[in-house]
Amino acid sequence: MTAHGSATSTRWAHLAERLPASLEELSGPDSGSVELPLHLAWSGLTRFDLDDEQLLVGLYRIVLTNGLREDLTRYLNADLLLRHWPRLRIALGRPVRTCWEQRFPQLVTAAAA
């Protein structure tokens, strides 16, 4: 194990278990407004305008960090995730970022672009 640990280690196994099998499963909206349920957005904003990049990044950070598999596929859109990953990866904690990048190498490619 590396100094930072592996995203699939026991400590972070719950993160990997909730990921979709492929990014194509992320079929959430790509425009308009999204309202998150209380189990995701228990404080602060609950409605997010996807056409506002700051709000979109906030929504995605919440869902990527706290969402269950059903939340990931319902609220996240693969194209938007790839497009905004360079900014999103900075907003996420290392375990979440590492887990997603290990499972989906295309995110690493998007971050390098």
Q: Quick one: DSSP state of residue 32?
A: S
Confidence of residue 4 (pLDDT cuts 50, 70, 90): very low
pTM of the model: 0.86
Convert the pLDDT of each residue in 15-70 to its tens digit.
788 999 999 999 999 999 999 999 998 888 899 999 999 999 999 999 999 999 99
Whose CA is closest to 98, among 8, 3, 2, 1?
8
